[in-house]
Amino acid sequence: MGSWEDYLAYNEKQYLEELIDFLKIPSISSLSEHASDVAAAADWVATRMERAGMDGVRVMPTGGHPVVYGEWLRSSDKPTVMIYGHFDTQPADPLDLWTTPPFEPTIRDKRVYARGASDDKGNMLAAIIGVEALLKSQENLPVNIKMFFEGQEEILSPQLPDFINTQRDLLSCDLILSADGGQWDREQPNIILGLRGSSALQIDVQGANRDVHSGAYGGAIHNPIHALTEIVGSMHSTDGRILVKGFYDMVKQTADEEKRLYEAVPYDESEFKNKLKLDDLHGEPGYSTYERLWVRPTVEVNGIWGGFQGEGTKTVIPNQAHAKISCRLVPDQDPEKILELVISHIENYAPKGVKVTIQPFKSTADPYLIPHDHPGNQAAHTVHKALYGKDPYYTRVGGSVPICSILQKTLGVHTVIFAFGTSENNVHAPDEFFDLEDFALAQKAYAMILNELSDRIF
């Protein structure tokens, strides 16, 4: 038997064929007509895991799209690492913007183009392959392994919290590696320390029992749009602070050491502005752009509507106005508590003369944070340095990936995001692709990090 590196090199062509095969399954989790494709992808993954040498591989029902679980637990004195990823994809529309069809994977310029190529089939398959290479070349693994792949990530994993809670014992581990994520760019590795949480609600303002003429009634009754803009406008100071009472109370100060890590990440403000064609940025006073995106929370109106939206004028006082609001949350803000604060703010500002109804949305996400010097990050750092020849940046991400905080809350274990796409991969957009070099790099990286984790104490 040769080394795991030889094993990977020897099987390179076959792995690419496998990836193409995997990418042909249109496992779009949001479209019910593709439910059987998501199930087919689960079966494909289970078969692939068995071939990699996993024990007890099973497709497990969740009430929605299934998950696939498998394990290799024969190194009893070693840590147990769980690998997470997802085999469902985003929808592919608008189809006409794809150069080649989204579920007919095509190689161009050393890239494979297909929906899911980077997010997340390419990355999760690379992780399986990395494990296989170690196991087949050494007949052993440096750690115990659990694999946990889901089929509902792109629809916010509605059944996962319950499933994980029920399967706490099965899923117990010392560390999770998430194969869903990416690097700063193809030359620069990146360790993600945090994700913002989220919670959201809708405000509905009802005025009279019908739209009325602004001449006949204007001045004597409240206009739901005025009431709504008053409420929404009251949530921020003009200079960008959130004025919802208590909103910042639970925000944890960023540790000085962590702050220094973020300050070390290059930032080019004119490039940032130019990319969006903005003359000026706007945000909470006293914080840098990265801090505003990574360590500070937001209240954002995602949509507003009411009354006449056509050409010209219509002299109407509409009888309804609506707004959608979502918050991005940072440690230690609790999404439910934040909803309470925002709701009581709205209730305080709701004027007489209209009825204000608030509808909180069920899906919330806790913010997530992993210590920068967590053993998992130390291992990732070592692998990054070896593969890229440079130290990774340490950053956070402004968006939300609920699974990380769900796993942490339920299993008490941190997740290291360890994946090899970049922001250039057209994820969630037409012409999604994955560089074949990155596919190979990811396989190596997984083999390396498992070796690195072998002797770490969690």
Binders of its own copies among 209-268, rule CB under 8 A?
A: 209-210, 212-223, 225-226, 228-230, 232-234, 236, 238
CB of 149 to its own copies, least distance (A): 23
Q: E strand or H helix at 201, and its extent?
A: strand 197-206
Q: 161 or 283: whose CB is closer to its own copies?
A: 283
363 binds its own copies (CB under 8 A): yes
Q: Whole-angstrom Cα distance, residue 98 to residue 92?
A: 9
Total binding residues toward its own copies, as defined by CB under 8 A: 79
| Binding-site string for its own copies from residue 269 to residue 308, where x marks contact by CB under 8 A and - marks none | ---x---xxxxxxxxx----x--xx--xxx-xxxxxxxxx
CA distance readout (Å), 304 to 146, 322, 324: 45, 6, 6
Task: Provide CB contacts within 8 A for 363, sequence distance 6+.
Answer: 156, 158, 200, 402
At 194, is the secondary structure helix, strand, or coil?
Answer: strand
Q: E strand or H helix at 329, and its extent?
A: strand 320-329
CB of 171 to its own copies, least distance (A): 26
165 binds its own copies (CB under 8 A): no
Q: Whole-angstrom Cα distance, residue 324 to residue 360?
A: 10
158 binds its own copies (CB under 8 A): no
Question: Which 377-406 positions form the footprint of its own copies (CB under 8 A)?
Answer: 397-400
Contact 101, 143 (CB under 8 A): no
317 binds its own copies (CB under 8 A): yes
CB of 160 to its own copies, least distance (A): 18
At 247, is the secondary structure helix, strand, or coil?
Answer: coil
Q: 36 or 289: whose CB is closer to its own copies?
A: 289
Judged by CB under 8 A, the residue of 321, 346, 411, 453 near its own copies is 321
Contact 86, 158 (CB under 8 A): no
- Structure tokens belonging to residue 324: 């959608």
Judged by CB under 8 A, the residue of 32, 312, 389, 457 near its own copies is 312
CB of 124 to its own copies, least distance (A): 22
Q: E strand or H helix at 123, and its extent?
A: helix 123-138
CB of 449 to its own copies, least distance (A): 26
Q: 7 or 368: whose CB is closer to its own copies?
A: 368
Q: 18 or 230: whose CB is closer to its own copies?
A: 230
Question: Which 92-111 positions form the footprint of its own copies (CB under 8 A)?
Answer: none
Part in contact with its own copies (CB under 8 A); list of ranges 54-62, 70-78, 117-125, 352-360 = 352-360
CB of 354 to its own copies, least distance (A): 8
Q: 213 or 260: whose CB is closer to its own copies?
A: 213
CB of 191 to its own copies, least distance (A): 18
Contact 45, 68 (CB under 8 A): yes
Question: Which 179-198 positions form the footprint of its own copies (CB under 8 A)?
Answer: 196, 198
Q: Are strands 190-195 and 393-397 parallel, antiparallel or unpaired?
A: parallel
155 binds its own copies (CB under 8 A): no
φ, ψ of residue 259 in degrees (nearest 5):
-55, -45
CB of 232 to its own copies, least distance (A): 4
- Structure tokens belonging to residue 78: 């070693």
Q: Whole-angstrom Cα distance, residue 239 to residue 318?
A: 30
At 243, is the secondary structure helix, strand, or coil?
Answer: coil
Give me the DSSP letters along 56-110. EEEEE--SSS-EEEEEE---TTS-EEEEEEE--B----SGGG-SS-TTS-EEETT
CB of 202 to its own copies, least distance (A): 8
CB atoms within 10 A of CB 282: 10
Judged by CB under 8 A, the residue of 328, 372, 384, 444 near its own copies is 328
352 binds its own copies (CB under 8 A): yes
CB of 180 to its own copies, least distance (A): 15
Q: 253 or 313: whose CB is closer to its own copies?
A: 313
Q: Whole-angstrom Cα distance, residue 409 to residue 365?
A: 11
Q: 108 or 282: whose CB is closer to its own copies?
A: 282
